[in-house]
Structure 1
């Protein structure tokens, strides 16, 4: 079955984004607690590249499928199935946020897996690092995060409120600092 990429984020309204989020069916991994634990021999690099046994996974559909099974527990990432959890090494964050659009007081992000995430109280932004070189992260789901890439960070800066002591962006009624 061919994959239909979602429309360009800039062309979507907030109701269309919400509809796309509601249509995404994810496995019920919050209901799974398998006892068996293995090593997946997989790594997610800081740039979002997925590797298996040192070789890149070049099929985007495989990455999207695996990413739907990701959880982070106690600082460790796993691919979770009902029968087994497989450790997966993550260099920085499991996802990369590659685009952002502001719609009706909400920041909508597109991830490197084409998934859409709305920042807000349930998916907060967090600033790390220092003021000269901040790293911004977006909570995705099940403890996983997306690192905001440089071009998306610049888009956030353009949307920021600079009236206070530090730049802040708002989404769904929550304010998020763009510097630690």
Structure 2
């Protein structure tokens, strides 16, 4: 049975509904699978979140969503596509996912932030899904942890929205609360 289509945007859903959908998402137990390494998948995830196979963009979003569910990061930092019988390298230019939309409910310590990823998956920022910012030569790079070792780069418009909210609340350091945890929006 094919996976249901993710919602087109977060505006039609309450944060409670988003949190429920995110919690219901069942992923394959890739952390328990330990097949032999089989080579390279010929798949690359570009900095903007576009998935390529043998140099061509993967046009079927259902395929991207499927591959994203079997993605794992190894202790040495490499990304792998893992099934019970094979393990293939996959190249990732920055982060495997991009947070393309954000919804906020509440203020300050009572706030919850939900993000929709480029794959349609939804993540609520909190202790299991922290936000962080890395400063680099080309500016800040904001991330949301999606699963252990796997992040989503927060798209610039979404990051600017987060910064605007943090500045409006005048916290020191600038940052936001989500699901009971404070996340500074500057690098440590």
For normalisation by structure 1, the TM-score amounts to 0.92
Residue aligned with 2:49, SS: coil
Q: Distance in 2 between matches of 1:62 and 1:127?
A: 30
- Does the 8 Å contact 2:9/2:101 carry over to 1? no
- CA deviation after TM superposition for structure 1 residue 75, in Å: 1.1
Match of 1:91 in 2: 93
Q: 1:174 to 1:45 in 2, by over 3 A?
A: same
Match of 1:135 in 2: 141
- Does the 8 Å contact 2:98/2:155 carry over to 1? yes
- Does the 8 Å contact 2:6/2:121 carry over to 1? no
Q: Distance in 2 between matches of 1:45 and 1:89?
A: 8
- Does the 8 Å contact 1:50/1:56 carry over to 2? yes
How many positions carry a matched residue from both structures?
A: 179
Q: Distance in 2 between matches of 1:135 and 1:125?
A: 11
- For structure 1, the 5+ residue unaligned runs are none
- After superposition, where does 1:1-180 map in structure 2 within 5 Å? 1=2, 3-6=4-7, 8-73=9-74, 74-104=76-106, 105-129=111-135, 133-160=139-166, 161-164=169-172, 166-180=173-187
Post-superposition Cα deviations, 1:121-154, rounded to whole Å, max 9, x if no partner, equal 1111111015982110111013110000111101
- Does the 8 Å contact 2:126/2:178 carry over to 1? yes
Compute the RMSD of aligned alpha carbons.
Answer: 1.9
For normalisation by structure 2, the TM-score amounts to 0.88
